[in-house]
Amino acid sequence: MKEKHTTESSECITLRVEDTAKILGISLSAAYNMVDRAYKSGGPFHVIKIGRSFRIMKESFYHFLDCGEGA
């Protein structure tokens, strides 16, 4: 019997671009531009790219919102 791989927490540690758009109250296009710039420049928050999809590290993004600086 195969073992199931589980995580300690079911809470996701990343945000989608759509999530950041809703949080900031900006258009999806503006959010994609912001995330693409952050990905290419390495800041002000951590972004990973999986295939053609971006994922934003939740802790880094919220730190950016709270402090106005990269994590």
Residue 31 lies in a domain: yes
- What average pLDDT does this structure show over 32-54? 95
Contact 57, 13 (CB under 8 A): yes
Residue 61 lies in a domain: yes
The pTM for the full model equals: 0.77
What does the angle CA 46 – CA 28 – CA 20 come to, to the nearest 5 degrees? 40
pLDDT, residue 11, reads 82
Rounded to an integer, what distance in angstroms lies between the CA atom of residue 60 and that of residue 66?
10
pLDDT, residue 68, reads 75
What phi, psi does 8 have (nearest 5°)? -70, -30
Residue 52 lies in a domain: yes
Q: Which domain holds residue 38?
A: 14-67
Strand ranges, E, within the chain: 14-15, 47-50, 53-57
pLDDT tens-digit profile of 3-35? 454 455 568 999 999 999 999 999 999 999 999
What's the domain count of the chain? 1
